[in-house]
Amino acid sequence: MNEYDLLTAICMGIGLSAAAGFRVFLPPFLLSLLMKASMVDINLEGTEYEFFASDISILLLGIASISEFLAFYVPWVDNLLDTIASPAAIIAGGTMTLIVLEGNTDPALQWGLAIIAGGGVSGVIQGTTVVTRAASTFMTAGLGNPVVATGENIATIVLTILALLLPVLAAIVVFYLIFMAVKKYSDRKNKSKPSS
């Protein structure tokens, strides 16, 4: 894998991982579907991830994607799902990064990037969605949560498509989202400090 291909794969992994932070199943579903259709050039034949582009994986991920999208529209169920989605998003982000780096990448680099970039980005995005949904639940008794769910669903679709078609742009968008989340957290923390 040359430097350009490696950079593209890393950016794709970051974009897909961030999308998994919003919704766990859609990014791997679309990735496996495009791999099956040979629209994404990732060869997993003979690897431990070979099953990822199989018909049964695509079917199960498709069903899981639809179920997840709909379940987040049910107030209070969405908060319960966050407890399951948080660790699952980190695993999905790391796994997709492993998959897109599969090939001629050094295993230590592959696993390091999967854990730090893939799992880390998914965890940050998922943590932000948990806080946003909790605030919406508190302020609207859960009635505003479908609006939050719609925003997350749109973000998942857009980020997944960007990651698969324009990976570098996807990574830029992800870094911007993380920067804004950190800035917002920092601003809130500074506002809550008592002035002396």
Give yes or no for a contact between 149 and 73, defined as CB atoms under 8 angstroms apart: yes
Q: Which tens digits make up the pLDDT trace of 70-103?
A: 988 887 788 788 888 889 999 999 999 998 888 7
Strand (E) or helix (H) holding 58: helix 55-71
* Identity of the highest mean pLDDT range in 30-34, 44-48, 141-145, 191-195: 30-34
Q: Which tens digits make up the pLDDT trace of 119-152?
A: 999 999 999 998 888 888 889 888 888 999 999 9
- Report how far residue 39's alpha carbon sits from residue 29's, in angstroms, rounded to the nearest whole number: 14
Whole-model pTM? 0.88
Cβ neighbours of residue 145 closer than 8 Å, sequence gap 6 or more: 72, 73, 75, 78, 79, 133, 136, 137
Could you tell me what percent of the chain has a pLDDT over 90? 48
Written as one letter, the residue type at 25 is F
How many other CB atoms are found less than 10 A from the CB of residue 86?
Answer: 17
The DSSP annotation for 92-110 comes to HHHHHHHHHTTTTS-HHHH
- Report how far residue 114's alpha carbon sits from residue 95's, in angstroms, rounded to the nearest whole number: 7
- Report how far residue 196's alpha carbon sits from residue 193's, in angstroms, rounded to the nearest whole number: 9
The DSSP annotation for 123-141 comes to HHHHHHHHHHHHHHHHHHT
Radius of gyration of the chain (CA): 17
Does residue 41 come out as left (phi exceeding 0), alpha (psi in the -120 to 50 range) or beta? beta
Give yes or no for a contact between 124 and 181, defined as CB atoms under 8 angstroms apart: yes
Could you tell me what percent of the chain has a pLDDT over 70? 97
